Amino acid sequence: MAREMMFYFDKTEDILDISVDKPKKAISTEVMDDFFVRRDVKSKKIVGFTILNFEKWFRSKRDERSIPLSAEFRLVS
């Protein structure tokens, strides 16, 4: 089953939020400074992540924009 990634950037708060499928109730855990992984309350599967101070983080890292996730991508037609 294809799953969509939903992106939302709150420029005022400088927060990038990415969800797998529609956002759902989840538990957030900070895994590194300002980087949170969200897990489904029941299944404990990762359903998204949030980066606080995103623009600051993105601009300061130059060529080193690494996050602690592994992913597999496929084009869905």
pLDDT in tens, 47-56: 999 999 998 8
**Is the pLDDT confidence value at 30 over 60?**
yes
- DSSP state for residue 61 in the 8-state scheme: S
pLDDT value for 44: 93
- Cα 58 from Cα 55, distance rounded (Å): 5
**Is the pLDDT confidence value at 5 over 60?**
yes
If pLDDT is split at 50, 70 and 90, which confidence band does 60 have? confident
